[in-house]
Chain A
Amino acid sequence: MHPAPFEYLAATTVAEACAELARDPEGTSVLAGGQSLIPRLVRRLERPRCLVDITKIAELYELGCTADTLSVSAGVTQRTIELYPPTSGFGVLAQALPGVGKVTTRNRGTVCGSLANADPGAELGVCLQVLGGEVIAISTHGLRRIAAHDFFRAPRCSALEADELLHTVRFNRPPAGTTGYFEKVTVRGAGDTPVLSAAVMARIAGDRATEVRIGVGGEGQSPVLAPAAITEALAGSLDDAAIDQAGRLLAAQLEFTGDSRACADHRRRLVTGVVGRLLRRLRADVP
């Protein structure tokens, strides 16, 4: 299997990559690791006229950690941040990374590429929602900051314009005293594209859990945070009745669709089960 013919350009600066994107926004695709793009090209699901390779741009290899954020630029691979010691301070992200694809695809696939691909069930999108943060896009018009909760518009559609390059993503550091858990459901075990990804996070204050956040994503439903009305009711001791109620209310609000792996209704039942299990794990951390 081979991709349809395309032209190729290895940009050496961000400005050059942006200029190429501006020339033919609809017909140009950004190539970083290519671990999601190339499979679509070989199946001829996409036929871009040109691929702009951004992996030769030195500026896009920045990876840094401050007291508040983990900042990952577009060339940084999933394997690099998985092995980056400060990542361990970003709870659900550190838990999700070793299961993103396989080690061989994480060696090439980038964090920003996974987000820009906007697969609704992908692990990193759910982590971005739960941790919060922002995405920095760049084009010939300049920089644009997009808040995490505004980034995913629809399955496989992000807030990036056709001429914009995802430059950097920033994940917010969970405040002290916060714990979180990540879990996903796959059909063919580790490394498979998830049917559903879910994560929960809460601050444990005394014998209470506060500031509960729940993020889920799966086919049809882009990564999304559970609305405050659902999570506020969970503050406190996280008893079984509250957990079950939250799972049911959340599942009813999600717009899953069916695909070859699971129907929409199955995904809704998975949400109730998986989110319930994650919240019970959180409860075990409350003294």
Chain B
Amino acid sequence: MSRTDKVSIAMRVNGRPIRADVPARMTLADFLRERLGLTGTHIGCGEGLCGTCNVLLESRSARACLTLAAQADGTDIITIEGLSLPGQPSPVQDCLVRHHALQCGFCTPGFVVLIAELLAEVDAGKRPTAEQICEHLNSSVCRCTGYAPIIAAAQELVADRIVAKANRDNATPRTEAAR
């Protein structure tokens, strides 16, 4: 391979295979919004401070504004659009609404992505404390709600997920043993 200012990339975005030629300097945030029309990924500061452009890159949250589209070659990306069915809020979004955890909604996609990452960690066996939930969410900033309702929603979602996982874990092995 040699130096180029145009890069050919192939990746999966929300499960869909994508191929494109992009300028080397194009960020993943611009690629998702301008080339793929996935405008749910918002651009706030454009330099990694605010977290509105968070996406899941290989199941881990990443700043789409600090990742070049070229670097995302060969990866699996999930954006806010991939976290719910079209036209239907996901359980995470529902919970945020119930807690009045958004006003203007600009930061919300970033928070939904962070909460999705947190819930995946719960599924993998982690049991985050209230403090760890706050530390996880401090990756994004919100200028309207003052965080308390966002944190409350995240705590409820984590607690529900832990209960659901415990019920599942209790159900399966016993039936296996009974057989």
Contacts and interface: CB of A to CB of B under 8 A. Distances in A.
Interface of A: 1-12, 20, 31, 34-35, 38-39, 41-43, 50-51, 53, 55, 79, 98, 102-105, 107-108, 189-191
Contacts of A189: 138
Question: Sorted from nearest, which 10 A-B pairs have the closest CB atoms?
Answer: A8-B24, A102-B139, A7-B3, A1-B46, A107-B60, A39-B47, A104-B139, A104-B61, A38-B66, A3-B25
B135 interface: yes
Contacts of A5: 5, 23-25
B139 A10 contact: no
Given A7-B5, A190-B138, A34 B68 contact: yes
Interface of B: 1-5, 7, 23-27, 30, 46-48, 51, 54, 57, 60-63, 65-68, 70-71, 73, 114, 117, 135-136, 138-140
Nearest to A98: B135
A171 to B, nearest CB: 23
Contact of A10 (B46, B47, B61, B73): B73
B98 to A, nearest CB: 25
A7 B24 contact: yes
Nearest to A10: B1
A4 B5 CA distance: 11
Contacts of A102: 51, 138-139
Contacts of A3: 25
Contacts of A6: 5, 24-25
B71 A53 contact: yes
B60 A105 contact: no
Contacts of A7: 3-5, 24
A20 B3 contact: yes
A215 B107 CA distance: 38
